Structure 1
Amino acid sequence: MTQTYQNYIDGEWTEATTGETFDNRSPSNTDELIGRYQRSSEEDAVAAVEAAVTAADAWADTPAPERGRVLEDTSRLLADRKDELTETLSREEGKTLDEASGEVQRAVDIFQYYAAKARDLGGRVKSPSASDQNLYTVEEPLGVTALITPWNYPIAIPAWKIAPALATGNAVVFKPASLTPEIARNLVECLDEAGLPDGVLNYVTGSGSEVGGVLTTHENVDAVSFTGSAKVGDHVYQSATEDQKRVQLEMGSKNPAVVMPSADLDEAVDIVAAGAFGVTGQACTATSRALVHERVYDEFVDRIVDQAEEIEIGPGTENLDMGPHASRDELDSTLEYVSLGSDEGATLLTGGERLDGGGYDDGYYVEPAVFADVEPEMRIAREEIFGPVLSVIPISSLDDAIEIANDVDFGLSASIVTSDLREANRFVEEAEVGVAKVNEKTTGLELHVPFGGVKGSSSETFREQGDAALDFYTLPKTVYMSY
């Protein structure tokens, strides 16, 4: 019998006021029903906000080391359940077991990191101009924070929002993506078991229009952190800032990897392939454009095609090289862009077909695609494609590469593969992105440094991860104390 799961509001697992649920099916095999989840209403979202408001002051007054203890215990509980959570994530989102395991470990590490950070929270002591005076700052929590997370990293991204929010003394209302409510629910279970007080964290599933709309506009929500598409992010920003909420947005991108003649070509192919086809291309930092110098262009294209054609595709739990798309909509979008690329005049060298027959018929599988002869003005070279589709664009110089790399509406991650230190340094200085890499794939992030983009990839307000996340969830108060 299929299990029905509930919302978590004010420390209790509760049904939605609608009495309605939605099905959550595996993208690897749509016959596999993972569970049924609450189709929540605005009333449910309001109840979650009110619970957070009630709990916020007491949590803010809890000593930071005690808040850190809850995060540390959460990290331990996640680690204890790592194998189970890895399989759940793979079944629900489609990642291979290796990819899912890495993501679960990232969540473990994030909670451990912010548990330690909680013990060191405080302000800064400054030198006053007057004698007999102390001058210092303290960092105070904002109050109630609304966290809206995507499906593509369904435990890591919630972790890097929830952990710093809780460490700094904020109460949280958490709305996960409707494609991945189960792994998010498992995370909430660990926080509950770790002893988080009632109402400090509230979990509500349902549509963005119903639940998300309340979270971005409710007068008692003090800050909103959103990760998702640019279109939805723009709407979130407009809604949330009407009453001057603090807002943090991380959205899409069109990440380039530049390959220069001095690069080790084997290394360059491996770097680009990993960035383009890892996690089925479903990462905001995925490599979507390879800007390859004309002197090595033909050889690079031959090798990247060979690499793409060697990728084994199947259910995430079989732990092959690449799993399915997360949903039918995502698959259809990728297929539409493949068709568009051919219509625009680019040359599809390999892939781009939906896989069928055998077990493929029941999942959302597509072959990784490589386009050559791509012009920078083509839509496949300018618009985000959230799938394993790589556009290879010839360049004649580093100037050419930088101009093409920057001439899009996004700016999240970019990389260059080169053995020339001058090329590397110039690219880092001139690339219009939030994350610049040298001889590295565009994907992959350290948890203790800032993460975010520029232009259409971000609100350009506050970064995530590391100390930057603590800045988003706190407000400094300056204290003058004469004695």
Structure 2
Amino acid sequence: MEHKLNYIGGQWVPSMTGDTIEVTDPATMEIVASVPRGGRADASTAVDAASQAFPAWRDRSAYERSELLLRWHQLMMDNRERIAETMTMEQGKPLAEARGEAEYAADFVRWYAEEGKRIYGETIPARSSAKRILVLRQPIGVVAAITPWNFPAAMITRKAAPALASGCTCIVKPASQTPLTALLLAELAEEAGLPAGVFNVVTGDAREISDAFMQDSRVRKVTFTGSTEIGKQIMRGAADTVKAVSLELGGHAPVIVYDDADLRLAAEQTIASKFRNAGQTCVCANRIYVQDGIYDAFERELAERIAALKVGSGREPGTSIGPLIDEHAMHKVKEQVEEAVAKGARLVSGGRPVQPDQTRGFFYEPTLLGEVTPDMKIMQEETFGPVAPLIRFTADEEAIAQANDSRFGLAAYLFTSNITRAIRTAEQLEYGIVGINDGAPSTAQAPFGGFKESGLGREGGREGIEEYLETKYISIGL
């Protein structure tokens, strides 16, 4: 078993208390490593390091910062198999998916290495010839990034890359289930030559570490991906020192399949969205609205594809569905399926836990539910598991209204061959991301974020780096 250390101020260090957390492979339930159980003191030390490193990093030219980020990107690409294997070991996703995430994570570093050179100010005409008005964009300062377990690499670089490119310094607090990927990224950042204190990783007690971030006025920005409930706590905590906050929170993504859709494409893309990472993504399909005229045909198409999905360890060739992250996740999926069936949903396929060979983790069959109704829990709460519920609708307006009837507003999808229908629906959907005939719209160069209780701010694209900048107005009298 490996014994890892935190990366603070360019040094690899244990927690102040010497306590550790065991990291478990969710497919086998074997302990694979230990990491420091950091707390308030460890977080404060990381803030010290990031705060001390900030002035020199801020004052480097955008081109110098870009060169270092590009080195980090190249090392991530050179080590993508190692990153992928680490993610599969600690998070459980199939190795093919983990390889895709490793490259996706590296894309953010490359994108922002270039975008950091395009932070522009402006000169504004003054009313008087004796004045000049300048507007500067400057880095906000020390950034604390709190990241989730379901995408252990990409959720770090999506935050850290724009922060570093803009001139901020960064402290990452990864999820305790998946800290090894974060520490590997820190190892590669160190090898790339990022100066001490610019990029730090602290593992340990989430409450103690986040409280330390919130109470320290030197932390000027907190960026978080996770549940809406924890996001609200972070908003409250940030109020005392008036920190900037970016929140990428829960989702409950609707899919609308119109009667003129290409059914094979719609089924393929819905499967890709729904069952990626065993359904443990914030943008995966959660409510699938299918128009009456094609409902039966679409259900058959979906059922055939679901039957071909292999459940097993992420290391096994051909695996499509890996384990759920823990027992709580399993309980939630089982409860939603059982409640839906009890209320009249039709179990088309799946619907039970399974135990593939050579595994001991929490595996659930890819499941298809038919004739689901809005009163069922699965229609109101994020599932975070491999369950696809189908709902009939008749009129376009009905589907759009039901899709919007949610406190969440992160991602939505629609399938149609009619461009007018596509544009009108996309404009009416109350979601920050809309995929038209596309079940995987996320990309480094486009803004990612939600409406309503799905969060604040955007990650990715030009908008992503704006989240780490302050605007300064300078008036010059001549």
Q: Separation in 1 of the partners of 2:73 and 2:461?
A: 17
Q: Distance in 1 between matches of 2:264 and 2:10?
A: 53
Greater mean deviation of Cα atoms: 65-74 or 342-351: 342-351
User: Where do 1:324-339 residues align within 5 Å?
Assistant: 324-339=323-338
Residue of 449, 453, 457 corresponding to 1:456: 453
Separation in 1, partners of 2:272, 2:400: 22
Post-superposition CA distance 1:201-230 (Å, at most 9, x none): 221101211212212232221110000011
Q: Which residue of 1 aligns with 2:374?
A: 376
Residue aligned with 2:7, SS: strand
The answer for the alignment partner of 1:341 in structure 2 is 340
Q: Over aligned residues, Cα RMSD in angstroms? A: 1.5
How big is each residue's C-alpha offset from its partner over 1:328-382, in whole Å with a ceiling of 9 and x where there is no partner? Answer: 322222222222222333222211211126324x122111111111112321111
Pick from 402, 422, 430: which aligns with 2:428? 430
**Structure 1 range deviating more: 348-357 or 190-199:** 348-357
Kept in 2, the 8 Å contact 1:144–1:223? The answer is yes
Q: Which moved more, 1:124-133 or 1:462-471?
A: 124-133
Query: Cα deviations across residues 66-120 of structure 1 (Å, max 9, x unaligned)?
Result: 1111111100111111111111112221111221111111122211111112223
Query: Residues 108-148 of structure 1: CA distance to partner in whole angstroms, max 9, x if unpaired?
Result: 22111111122233312333333365433211111111100
Counterpart CA distance in 2 for 1:321 and 1:264 is: 24
* Normalised TM-score (structure 2): 0.97
Q: Which of residues 396, 399, 411 is equivalent to 1:398?
A: 396
Establish whether residue 446 from structure 1 lines up as the match of residue 443 from structure 2.
yes
Answer yes or no: is the 8 Å Cα contact 1:110–1:160 preserved in 2: yes
Tell me the distance in 2 between the aligned counterparts of 1:430 and 1:287. Answer: 18
Is residue 146–residue 216 contact of structure 1 (8 Å, CA) maintained in 2?
no
Distance in 1 between the 2:132 and 2:241 partners?
35
> 1:477 maps to which residue?
472
Q: How much does 1:34 deviate?
A: 2.2
Query: 1:295 is matched with which residue: 276, 281, 293?
Result: 293
> What amino acid sits opposite 2:338 in the alignment?
S
Show the 5 A alignment for 1:72-221: 72-131=70-129, 133-221=131-219
Residues 23-66 of structure 1 deviation map (CA, whole Å, 9 limit, x = unaligned) = 111112112x3210111121111111121112111211122211
Counterpart amino acid of residue 473 in structure 1 = Y
Which among 37, 40, 59 is matched to residue 39 of structure 1? 37
Distance 1:440 1:118 in 2: 29
Aligned position for 1:13: 12
Give the AA of the match of 2:451.
V
> Is contact 2:321-2:366 (8 Å) kept?
no
- Whether the 8 Å CA contact 1:29–1:363 is kept in 2: the answer is yes
Distance of 2:332 and 2:441 partners within structure 1: 24
Q: Which residue pairs with 1:62 in the alignment?
A: 60
Q: What displacement does 1:480 show?
A: 3.0
Mapping 1:209-358, distance limit 5 Å: 209-319=207-317, 320-356=319-355, 358=357
Q: Could you say which residue in structure 1 is the equivalent of 2:25?
A: 26
Separation in structure 2 between the aligned mates of residue 305 and residue 60 of structure 1, nearest angstrom: 54
- Pairwise CA distance, 1:438: 1.0
Give the C-alpha shift of residue 291 in structure 1: 0.3
State how far apart, in whole Å, the 2-side matches of 1:130 and 1:106 are. 50
1:53–1:144 Cα contact (<8 Å) kept? yes
Distance 1:307 1:216 in 2: 46
Query: C-alpha separation between the residues in 2 aligned to 1:263 and 1:34?
Result: 46
User: Residue type of the partner of 2:320?
Assistant: D
Instruction: Report sequence identity in percent.
Output: 34
Q: For structure 1, which runs of at least 5 residues remain unmatched after alignment?
A: none
Kindly provide the amino acid, as one letter, of the partner of residue 342 in structure 1: V
Alpha-carbon distance, 1:257 to partner: 0.8
- 1-structure distance, mates of 2:129, 2:343: 72
- Separation in 2, partners of 1:108, 1:357: 32
Deviation for aligned residue 1:453: 0.4
For residues 300-324 of structure 1, give each alpha carbon's deviation from its aligned partner in whole angstroms, at most 9, with x where no partner exists: 1122122212111111122422221
CA distance in 2, matches of 1:134, 1:357: 70
Work out the CA distance in 2 between the residues paired with 1:174 and 1:429: 36
Does the 8 Å CA contact 1:241/1:247 hold for their aligned counterparts?
no
- Say which is worse superposed, 394-403 or 299-308, in terms of deviation: 299-308
- Residue type of the partner of 2:435? K
| Larger CA deviation: 122-131 vs 336-345 | 122-131
The answer to whether the 8 A contact 1:150-1:177 is kept is yes
TM-score, normalising length: structure 1: 0.96
Letter in 2 for 1:336: E
Q: How many residues align?
A: 477
Query: For 1:287 and 1:28, how far apart are their aligned partners in 2?
Result: 24
Distance between the aligned counterparts of 2:88 and 2:56, measured in 1?
37
Instruction: Supply the distance in 2 between the matched residues of 1:351 and 1:218 (Cα, whole angstroms).
Output: 49
Q: Tell me, which stretches of 5 or more residues in structure 2 are unaligned? A: none
Change (3 A) 1:216 1:345: farther
